[in-house]
Structures are given as C-alpha cells and as structure tokens.
Amino acid sequence: MNQPLFRGSATALITPFANGRVDVSALRRLIEQQLEGGTAAIISCGTTGEPATLTADERELVIRETVKAVDGRIPVICGTGSNNTRAVVENERRYRDLGCAAQLVVTPYYNKTTQDGLYAHFMHIAENTELPIILYNVPSRTNLDISAQTLERLAQCERFIALKESSYDLPGVMQKMRAANGRLAFYCGNDDMVYPMLALGFEGVISVLSNLKPRMMSDMVSAWFAGEQARSRQLQLDALPLVRALFTEVSPIPCKYAMERLGLCANELRLPLIPAGQSTRALMDAALEGVKTYC
C-alpha cells in the first residue's frame, strides 16, 4: 500500500449557517480551531456538512473556502457522493481544480443496487474522474453494505486509495481488510469504535465528534500510534457519553446544538432537519460537562 493520505483524526466538518446562508466567517473560524486542535484532514461537504440541502453553488463555495482557509496545511477531501452516478462525476469535475486532495464517495442510497451494481457505480466514477477516491460505507444510513468480495474487486484499481468504514461488525471489517490485502487505507467512521479499529490496523478516524473536541479526538489517535494504548483507550471511554449524545438524533442535529453551546457557530439547520429536542439537549448538556477539560 502507498503512504496513506493522512494518519490521525479527520473532521467531517459541519456547514455553518446564519440567516439561511452559508456563514463563511464562521467556517473560517471552525477551520482554525481544527488546525489548532491537531486535526489531520478535513472533509468538506460530507454527510455532516448537509450537502443534500446545499445548492450546487453553495457546495462549491464551501469547498473553495475550506481549501482557501486550510491553505495547504492539511489535506481537504471533498464529498462528491450521490445516488446518481452521473452526478458524482459532475461534482468531481466541478471541484477538481479547487485544490482538494481526494474525494469521498458514499454508496448509493434509496435507489439501492446490487453488489455488481456497486462495482459498476464506483468503477464508472474511477474511470471518469481525476481526484483519488475514498470509498464510504455507511449501512446505517444507506442500508447498503460494500461486501468483502466487492471491495476486493475495487481494490485492484489504484484510483481507490481508502475506505471509510462505518460498521460495528468486527468480523466483517476484518474480512474486508483481508480482501483489500493492504491496497487500501482504512478509516473508522464511528466515533465510538476508534480504539477497536485502530487495534485492527486502521489509519485513523473521520469524525463528527472532532467538530466539538478536535484535540480530544486527535490525541486519542496519536496516543495509539505513540504506543500509549492505555491513554488512547481512556480517551475513547471518556468520549462515549458525548458520542451517544451526538447520535441521539440524525447527525448533525445534536452536533450543531452543542457547537452553539460552545460558542462555535449558530444552531441553524435546513429542513427537513430541525433543532434538537429537549431530551437530546439535556443529554448533550450533561455529556459536555463530562468532557469540559478537553478541547
């Protein structure tokens, strides 16, 4: 396997809004916080960034401004995924000259396909785009899982450089790692599974939690690679209440509530997402109190 694009904690960055528009000033502040917190890469317009309710021009704006604010200090990965294969290709062509290091491509959703269809979908993207591809497998959202057999076929193509795996099926994950045979870097997509996945050989995490606590998540991963497994494990355990609070409602609903509480950006979403309910807010308040010593 070639050198991974990044090792450590990457943030699936939220998109801040103010009065119905993308808040570019807040976006720049969030990026500086991420850089100060040791974040290794930023995903712009991934699922957490609400791309489904951004216009095409807004998505391009967010990615362009993110690349500009990062200024080459860490890789920026743009989300191009869609359940429309042609749209993925069009997205990449729109973003490819903005300065991104790679694209994150989720499995199709709603109009789900077969494993052969998955292979055809991703190979069409590989053959018609230029940015390196990080595959994104998140069955809880798409109800579609890249099988080990399909991953083995895809891994033969050098256009695919990594897999973001959001799964709790450890034997299944190990089968995928065996199928990839070292050709892909693996990144954890579940904030409550980082330590176990690092133990399996993952290169890091693409995190929602790090929107709130970039240093905490960065330290969790860096401690593992520094041989400080006990510290890494303790950070994972300390983070669990906050992770559970972050996913009591559809992400990024709880995340944006927490970010407003921390003074990072407004708690503004776009329909069909609405602000967090009272029980989620109470759970988040308690969880934030438990990790207030971390940044």
- Give buried/exposed letters for 27-50 (b at 16+ CB in 10 A, else e): bbebbebbbebbbbbbbbbbbbbb
Active site residue 164: yes
95, 164, 176, 195: the active-site residue: 164
Q: How far is CA 132 from CA 6, 163, 169, in A?
A: 13, 12, 27
Per annotation, catalytic residue among 95, 136, 257, 294:
136
Q: Dihedrals φ, ψ of 21, to 5°? A: -120, 160
**How far lies 206's CA from each of 112, 194, 245, in Å?**
24, 9, 18
Q: Please choose, from the candidates 121, 92, 120, 87, the residue with its C-alpha nearest in 3D space to the C-alpha of residue 104.
A: 92
Task: Give CA–CA dist 293/295, Å, rounded.
Answer: 7
Cβ-based neighbours of 286, under 8 Å, separated by 6 or more: 241, 245
The β-bridge partners of 164 are: 136, 187
Catalytic status, residue 256? no
Active site residues: 136, 164
